[in-house]
Amino acid sequence: MNRIGLAIAALLLSSSAGWAEKAVEQTFPAYVDSDICSRLMLGPVTDKRISCSKDTAKEGSSPAIVRGTDNMVLEVRNRKSVKKLVGEFAEVTGQVK
């Protein structure tokens, strides 16, 4: 499993007051996906999903992080550092905002 450190921001924001607090750095297991496949292919990571991730990334789709604990899709701020890991599992460290 790869270990990557990056700053990430949640694409889905909650209106609860808890999100107004300062973001804390977290480490969690994740799947490095493409932004297209992360929204179209929900559920487990299958061979078909890995193929989708790699193909759409080659076509220019931005990388995205799918948190392993709850499948939340997170946007990557530093795309260059993650682009080569699309289609793989990684341990991610960053701030979820």
Sign of CA dihedral 83, 87, 88, 90: positive
The string of pLDDT tens digits covering residues 59-90 is 999 999 999 989 999 988 888 889 999 999 99
Secondary structure string (H, E, C) spanning 42-61 = CCCCCHHHHHHHHHHHHCCC
Q: Residue 30 and residue 97: Cα distance in Å, rounded?
A: 16
Q: Residue 34 and residue 36: Cα distance in Å, rounded?
A: 5
Is the pTM here over 0.85, yes or no? no
Q: What is the dihedral of CA 59, 52, 81, 90, to 10 degrees?
A: 180
At residue 57, the pLDDT reads 94
